[in-house]
Structure 1
Amino acid sequence: MIDKITEARKEFDSHVSNVHDLKSLEELRLKFLSRKGIIQNFFEEFKKLSTDEKRKVGKILNEFKIYSQSVFEELKEKLEAQKKKSESFVDITLPGRVRQIGSKHLITQTLDEIKSIFKGLGFSVYEGPEVESDYNNFEALNFPEDHPARDMQDTFFINDKFLLRTHTSPVQIRLMSQKKPPIRAIMPGKVFRNEAISAKSYCLFHQVEGLYVDKDVTFAELKGTLVSFIKQYFGHDVKYRFRTSFFPFTEPSAEMDVWWQPKGKEGRWLEVLGCGMVDPNVLKNVGIDPEEYVGYAFGMGIERTAMRKYGIDDIRILFDSDLRFLNQF
């Protein structure tokens, strides 16, 4: 058996000289150091030897085991260090990699453009919470509890007093309650309505509302501001019109339309925003004297504004995160 161990050690040394990577090292371990390897088989044979033979063979067999194990561990440490070094190596002669930098979503681009235009017209930007009180969202805006206009906005109620805001008008209430006139600001943000999802409506969308309160503010100023915005956003050759309308928080009220004619299709008027002079009751609710101050307000949906500018006919695609669509913008 001593001769077998001697031959096995020579074979082990021969295999060691051919180990150049972790794969060949694993093959060495399986052949010699595993539970079914050569050294373990020697120990199984060792159990059957006589006492005298065990004295002669035991020392040699243990030396072979200790030697092979130490050689294996040394090789393993060396090869793992080499692998780690090669993985961290940077070849500075290789050409640089082009970074794939993302871009802003179309909704964000539209919001930024609208905010930029109104900032140029002298408006500040204010934001407010998306969870609002019933008072700020409805009552302070001239929606009494039994007012039929509440049915125009299907609401996500959290409890009897709080809800997900259905428009950004509550930010106007907060601003007028905290700041004295003159006030000239826009209020962008998300709004929520419990509506059936379709090509033209979604349960989540974005709005930008505007407010100007001061002495001697007129409807003509409101029209001039909105015409300036429309021409900057849609182009100076845009066709527009104002129509009378109704909103509980403005009186008189109007809607503004632009003429939209996709290629190859029949043109038509499309509403882009609602507007009007702030109702005196709203000013009273926030502690502003309607005998001294007057104001105007307006509001528009960001998704529909973008759809009209870029010829998009389905609002749902704006929320699908489809890169084939988003990469166009």
Structure 2
Amino acid sequence: MEKKIKKIKEEIIFKSNSVSNLKDIEKIKVEYLGRKGLVTLLLRRLGELSTQERPKIGQLLNQTKREIEELLKIKTIEIEKLEKNKKLKEESIDVTLPGKKSDRGTIHPINLVLKKTEEIFLSIGFKIEEGPEVELDYYNFEALNIPKDHPARDDQDSFYLNREILLRTHTSPVEIRVMEKQQPPVRIIATGKCYRRDAADSTHSPMFHQIEGLAVDKDITFGDLKGVLTVFVHRMFGEDRKVRFRPGYFPFTEPSAEVDVSCLLCHGKGCRSCGYSGWLEIMGAGMTDPAVFNMVGYDPEKYSGFAFGMGVERIAMLKYGINDIRLFFENDLRFLKQF
């Protein structure tokens, strides 16, 4: 067995001198030190030797194993160094070459609309307020005069965490939180993310952005609402846009209205985009329902107010001529570079 061990050492030295890459070293390691390697098999056969030979051969095998491991370790370091130097040489930088053009970031169209909206309302005396995205059922529905049997409160329409907590379905809860803390006059807008159980398609997304507005004071009328929203439309879409108010229904406003703007593509003449009506719906609005004032401790006989809400994606799609809401969330540079 001593001759076998000596032969193995000679083979290892010969093979290690001829290897040129780490893959070959790994093969040698498996061939001699692996589970079925030559040295491993000899170690397993120690039990076949006599009690006189066993200690001597065992010590020799263990020493040979350590020497092989050390030899392969040194060879590995040498090859890694050679490969690193080769790689550095091949990847050296030619400072005379022209630089690569980097893509520049742009402001996302959603943020452009949010920024523009905030600028418009700040200029006419509104403040910006924020609220939690994880909201209590009370603020999201009950305090807004939305009855228990309303479809919006069903599990298939809203993301509930438990029976009392959900992801807010609109930014309207911010109105209630502000009115609970502040007595009139109130003039605020609230912007942020909202969540509904909508299947993603060209016009719907389970996560979207909304802008909510509220004004409360003495002697506020529907005429004030029309004036504020007309200013917003003209500054957002252009002075030539016409604004139309149609009767509508919302649980937290009475009377309520759907707000339309003359089609940006056909200028009100009628086209496929506007269903040949000449108008495009952009938001809902109305006078704050007295029931909402009662929930926050405002005297509806003394104060009146109006509220409005719009989808940021909807405004951006109309303003920039975008036909698919999913484009906002795909991070496609070809799309984002246009803004």
Letter in 1 for 2:174: V
Q: CA deviation at 1:179?
A: 1.3
Judged with a 3 Å threshold, the aligned counterparts in structure 2 of structure 1 residues 8 and 123 are, in CA distance, closer, same or farther, namely same
Distance of aligned partners of 1:25 and 1:296 in 2 relative to their CA distance in 1, 3 Å threshold? same
What is the one-letter code of the residue matched to 1:233? M
Of 214, 217, 220, the match for 2:217: 214
Deviates more, 1:301-310 or 1:174-183: 301-310
Which of 132, 149, 154 matches 1:129?
132
Instruction: Tell me the alpha carbon deviations over residues 149-206 of structure 1, each in whole angstroms, 9 at most, x when there is no partner.
Output: x457765384665555443222101110111222221112333445676654455433
Task: Note if 1:179 corresponds to 2:188.
Answer: no
Question: Match for 2:158 among 139, 149, 156?
Answer: 156
Q: Does 1:280 align with 2:290?
A: yes
Distance 2:284 2:44 in 1: 92
| TM-score, L = length of structure 1 | 0.71
Cα distance, 1:211 vs. partner? 1.0
Q: CA deviation at 1:246?
A: 3.7
Within 5 Å, give how 1:241-260 maps onto structure 2: 241-260=244-263
Q: What residue is the counterpart of 1:22 in the other structure?
A: 22
Bigger mean CA offset, 77-86 vs 34-43: 34-43
CA contact (8 A) 1:133 1:161 kept: yes
1:70 aligned partner, one-letter code: E
Q: d(CA) in 2 for partners of 1:61 and 1:153? A: 77
Q: Structure 1 residues 206 and 35 mapped into 2: Cα distance closer, same or farther (>3 Å)?
A: closer
Q: Distance in 1 between matches of 2:11 and 2:147?
A: 96
* Greater radius of gyration (CA): 1
In structure 2, distance between residues paired with 1:60 and 1:248: 91
**Residues 1:323 and 2:332 are matched in the alignment:** yes
Q: Secondary structure at the match of 2:285?
A: strand
- In the other structure, the counterpart of 1:230 is 233
Q: Aligned equivalents of 1:46 and 1:157: distance in 2? A: 69
Identity of aligned residues (%): 44
Name the TM-score, length of structure 2 as normaliser.
Answer: 0.69
Is the Cα–Cα contact under 8 Å of residues 219 and 304 in structure 2 kept in the other structure?
yes
The 5 Å alignment of 1:38-117 reads 67-80=67-80, 91=92, 93=94, 105-117=108-120
Distance 1:33 1:233, change over 3 A: same
- Superposed CA deviations along residues 81-104 of structure 1, whole A, max 9, x for unmatched, are 666788899856567666567656
Question: Partner of 2:330: helix, strand, or coil?
Answer: coil
Counterpart residue identity of residue 321, structure 1: E
1:236 alignment partner, SS class: coil
- The equivalent residue for 1:305 is 315
For residue 276 of structure 1, give the secondary structure of its aligned residue in structure 2: strand
Q: Name the SS for the 2:227 alignment partner.
A: helix
Q: Is contact 2:190–2:211 with CA below 8 Å preserved after alignment?
A: yes
Deviations 1:45-74 (A, max 9, x none): 999999xx99xx999999876655533232
Measured after TM superposition, the shift of residue 109 of structure 1 is 4.1
The verdict on how the C-alpha distance between 1:84 and 1:292 changes in structure 2, with shifts beyond 3 A counting, is farther
Aligned residue type for 2:229: L
* Residues 1:116 and 1:153: Cα distance change in structure 2 (over 3 Å): farther
Q: Which runs of 5+ in 2 are unaligned?
A: none
| Secondary structure in structure 2 of the residue aligned to 1:122 | coil
List per-residue Cα deviations over 1:100-132 (Å, max 9, x = no partner). Answer: 676565444433432343233332222223444
Q: Secondary structure at the match of 1:129?
A: coil
Query: Would the alpha carbon gap of residues 257 and 13 (structure 1) be closer, same or farther in structure 2, given more than 3 Å must change?
Result: same
Question: Quick one: structure 1 residues 78 and 176, their matched pair in 2 at CA, closer, same or farther if it must change by over 3 Å?
Answer: same
Does the 8 Å CA contact 1:173/1:286 hold for their aligned counterparts?
yes
Give unmatched runs, 5+ long, in structure 1: none
Q: CA RMSD in A?
A: 4.8
Choose 131-140 or 210-219, whichever is displaced more.
Answer: 131-140
Q: Structure 1: how far apart are the matches of 2:187 and 2:195?
A: 25
Cα distance in structure 1, aligned partners of 2:64 and 2:152: 89
For 2:170, the equivalent position in structure 1 comes to: 167
Q: Indicate if the aligned counterparts of 2:264 and 2:318 stay in contact, CA closer than 8 A.
A: no
Kindly tell me: are residues 83 and 180 of structure 1, through their superposed partners in 2, closer, same or farther at Cα, counting changes over 3 Å? farther
Task: Say if 2:304 is the partner of 1:294.
Answer: yes
Whole-angstrom distance in 1 between the partners of 2:33 and 2:196: 70
